Structure 1
Amino acid sequence: MAQSPRTRTVLTLFTARDSVQCHRVRLVLAAKGVSYERVAVDEGKPPEDLTDLNASGTVPTLVDRDLVLYDTAVICEYLDERYPHPPLMPVDPLSRARLRLAMVRIEQEWLPLVATIHAGGRPADTARKRLREALVASVPLFKASKFFLNPEMSLADCLIAPLVWRLPALGVDLAREGKPIVDYGERIFRNPGFARSLTPEEKLLRE
């Protein structure tokens, strides 16, 4: 999947080596079976190729010919529409809206806790507790269907699965209360597409 960063294919993804949001995009691409050029970006060291395209140098940044996208949710929705098979959102508007609201909530409430844990120090302990409580409180949503609020894998799963993959490395133990979430994660982790979405650094998070 990964190619030389100097040989531009139709799709190029500038991605961090370990990031929930970057992993989210890579999982969408893997689910779609789309070939792309993966350019690994080290934190705080954006390559000139990236800053020429996106002045802020943020990742993920997706390049599709003359189109440059650097908002994660926009990238994922674009890929789902650009490569419609398999679809990663339900057909009916109500289900789509429910999943979109869930993703907004996770981005606004859960991912900042992940960032706080990564930052370390005393606030990290509080963030671990809050993240665990938020996940356990959401167990009924994980039990409602085979995937998150949906019988088929969706863009919401592409956001949630990378987070669940990181829970052991984050020091978040869901214990028996969170078993439905652990089981949910294992169903997705067994998919070959999930394995393809991982960077070498992310594979080590579970070793």
Structure 2
Amino acid sequence: MAEITIYSAVVCPYAHRTRLVLQEKGIDFDLVEIDLQNKPEGFTKVSPYGKVPAITHGDERVWESAVINEYLDEVFPHPPLLPSNPIAKAQARIWVDFANTRFVPAFSNLLRNPEPQKQEEAKQELYKHLEFIENEAFGKLSQDGPYWFGESISLVDFTFFPWFERWAALREYRGFAIPAEFTRIKQWKHALKERDSVKAIAHSKEFYIERYAKFAAPAVAAVR
């Protein structure tokens, strides 16, 4: 039995983050797949919010993907996935927060909102965030390296990547591809896709298009 057990759901990008970290670090783990529409009895004893991912490590439990990933990086320090320099570590945490509070909500709003006007607003918001990443992350932090912090992969890369693996759903249902002018983002996405840790649990474009269809479905008019 592995030291770590992760409670996950295959469609969940947050759980995808933590599985990527486990793969990158070569940590042996047991995987428990949770049906989020029919959660098993007692699941909240592991995940008090009733969400995935959550992990158990011996008798301890940790939930929330960003917290789990930092925990794993501290407990299993090789290879390190956060910079050791205090300011660089602070910048990494800022980018994780940016993903959680700005980028991911814009992605979700675009995919899930059935109203064309709201979709257009979400496209503009998401474009603005991509532009910020292109200029502030890859234009300043990464220099000539392929990853957020240059030559070294980090938690930030794994924090964002699950949504980029799912981008085919945005293109399919909302006609929003990654704009051509964001060349560094495209290079970064390609570099991530080539990593063994990413390949090990990757799914096809068709997989996400099929599974995200229900989230992108148009609203059903109320019967009067």
Greater RCO, 1 or 2 (C-alpha within 8 Å, sep 6+): 1
Alignment of structure 1 residues 39-188 onto 2, 5 Å: 39-122=32-115, 123-140=118-135, 141-144=137-140, 145=142, 146=145, 147-171=147-171, 172-188=176-192
5+ unaligned residues in a row in structure 1: which ranges? 1-7
SS at match of 1:90: coil
Matched, 1:205 2:208: yes
Kept in 2, the 8 Å contact 1:13–1:61? The answer is yes
1:70-107 deviations in Å (ceiling 9; x for gaps): 12111000100111110001111111111111111121
Runs of 4+ in 1 over 4 A off after TM superposition: 200-203
SS at match of 1:194: helix
Count of residues in Structure 1 that have an aligned counterpart in Structure 2: 199
- The CA distance in 1 between the partners of 2:112 and 2:194, in whole Å, is 30
5+ unaligned residues in a row in structure 2: which ranges? 211-224
1:20-64 deviations in Å (ceiling 9; x for gaps): 211111111111011211122222322225233224321111111
Give the counterpart of 1:11 among 4, 26, 42: 4
User: 144-153 or 29-38, which moves further after superposition?
Assistant: 144-153
In angstroms, what is the RMSD of aligned CA positions? 2.2
Tell me what 2:215 maps to. none
- The CA distance in 2 between the partners of 1:134 and 1:111, in whole Å, is 10
The structure with more radius of gyration? 2
Cα drift, residue 175 of structure 1 = 2.6
Cα drift, residue 194 of structure 1 = 0.4
Taking only the aligned residue pairs, the percentage that are identical comes to 26
Cα drift, residue 115 of structure 1 = 2.4
1:123-172 deviations in Å (ceiling 9; x for gaps): 34432332123102321222442211343000100111212222222223
Kept in 2, the 8 Å contact 1:61–1:71? The answer is yes
From the superposition, tell whether residues 89 and 9 of structure 1 become closer, same or farther in structure 2 (CA, over 3 Å): same
User: 60-69 or 169-178, which moves further after superposition?
Assistant: 169-178
